[in-house]
Structure 1
Amino acid sequence: MNKKILSVVLILCVMLAVMPMTAYAADRALCTNCNQVQTVRVTTQYADGKWHLRHVTCTVCNKEWYFGASHTWSGTATCTSGRTCTECGGSSEPLGHD
């Protein structure tokens, strides 16, 4: 029984580790297709240590566009863990030991 529970927990941990870090939000932006300020769906995904990628979709005409934005870090990096981006959930590199 304990082996089954441990196996399930291990599988869940592996699945969470390989899932893309994506955050979702609803916002308003100027759609160049509609030429109006519309409600848009914004998806923010980790790109690299300096940037995350924002994918924007107009909810009226479904036009899509992308742009990069710098991370908004929270917390303090330590020697064993990095800071976390408040928008995409990405992590910076830990400081490490000298």
Structure 2
Amino acid sequence: MPKAYWISAYRAVKDPDKLAAYAKLAGPAITEGGGRFLARGVPAKVYEAGLAQRTVLIEFDSIEQATATHDSPAYQAALAALDDGAERDLRVIEGV
């Protein structure tokens, strides 16, 4: 079974306090769901049409595990804490 990856790009941070509240809840929810943080931060370099946005890469054992974690009550509570504090693009993709 291929691994799965969450790729989240932060287009804009509107409220740093809400983002901090989200992170405090989201980290444990993701790790409890089996997620492993592989990278996070602003890109060291961008090419082509790349944007220098905060990006987070998280690995899961499967698409099912990744989506179950996203849909879990614990992660949904983290999203509620974020409450429009950031504009993000979150994608779940299957590994090759």
TM-score, length of structure 1 as denominator length: 0.21
Larger % of helix: which? 2
Larger % of strand: which? 1
Kindly name which structure, 1 or 2, has the bigger radius of gyration based on alpha carbons.
Answer: 1
